[in-house]
Amino acid sequence: GEDVEQSLFLSVREGDSSVINCTYTDSSSTYLYWYKQEPGAGLQLLTYIFSNMDMKQDQRLTVLLNKKDKHLSLRIADTQTGDSAIYFCAEDGGYNKLIFGAGTRLAVHP
């Protein structure tokens, strides 16, 4: 069945790059997503990538997609304390649903 796996915790120093990795199972996903959850808030769409793309860059964010290996990554350049949050990878089940991972907690320290 559909499944999304990601590591649970990442700690980086302020100013360094963060890379959060994810593997998924549904090769028919049209889009793949990264959602961000800040403390006390709901999930918020951070970025997404269309399945026929290998890379998408959006300011400090770079999304890489390896369809062969079903691997998705999110790179945050120049990580700031405000980037501390939980990051969820999700694959597309169409309008009917998203399949999420368990989330990667990113801790940024000085």
Site residues (vs another protein, CB under 8 A): 4, 30-31, 33, 40-45, 48, 88, 90, 92-103
Q: Which is nearer to another protein, 35 or 73 (CB)?
A: 35
**21 vs 48 by CB, closer to another protein:** 48
Give the nearest distance from C-beta 6 to another protein in angstroms: 9
Separation between Cα atoms, residue 99 and residue 47, nearest integer Å: 16
Largest CA distance in the chain: 41
- 74/79 with CB nearer another protein: 74
Burial of 93 (0-12, 13-18, 19+ CB in 10 A): middle
